[in-house]
Amino acid sequence: MAGLEADDAQRQRADFTLTDLQGKAWHLKDLRGPIVLVNFWATWCPPCRKEMPDLQSLYAQFKNQGVVVLSIPDEESAKVSPFVAERDITYPVLLDPGRKVNEEFKVEGIPKSFVYDRDGKLVAQSIDMRTKGQFLQMLAQAGLHSTPK
């Protein structure tokens, strides 16, 4: 139990700057104000691929209401870029060379998602695949008020 609490404390303090597929830098601690969902995945992971349409739908629905989805694959750009393009993923996909952020978040299995509220506090996490409804519940814990679509 102490190990799990230490991992959560590490995730609460987590900070990173990663570059997305378009070359834009994203700094986690600079994202105060929006709700931030950080999702770890890989192209070879069936559950990861299954939850991507729901993440895309949520991003499209809530990006103008202060929700940011940051997607961090466990692979290099050469694999990730064509995969993202053919699935019309429009939320930011950040590259993690050397898996430094994966290690900082103690990601050992994927998919894994973490939700930070508008003040940057870790308020929800999942250790497996989520559905759109389950993601909405996680975002609600961060203060998102949504109506079902």
Query: What is the rounded CA–CA span in Å between residue 64 and residue 103?
Result: 31
pLDDT at 149: 47
Query: What is the rounded CA–CA span in Å between residue 8 and residue 125?
Result: 10
Average pLDDT of span 5-24: 77
**pLDDT tens digit string along 69-105?**
999 999 999 999 999 999 999 999 999 998 999 888 8
Cβ-based neighbours of 112, under 8 Å, separated by 6 or more: 39, 40, 105, 125, 126, 127, 128
Average pLDDT of span 14-43: 92
Residues, the chain: 149
Give DSSP secondary structure letters for 67-114. Answer: EEEEEEESS-HHHHHHHHHHTT--S-BEE-GGGHHHHHTT--SSSEEE
Residue 13 has pLDDT above 80, yes or no: no
Mean pLDDT of all residues belonging to the chain? 89
pLDDT at 35: 95
Residue 115 has pLDDT above 70, yes or no: yes
Contact 111, 48 (CB under 8 A): yes
At 15, the pLDDT band (50, 70, 90 cuts) reads: confident
Q: Considering the domain 2-141 in this protein, what is its CATH number?
A: 3.40.30.10
3-state secondary structure of 60: helix
Domain residue ranges in the chain: 2-141
pLDDT at 7: 59
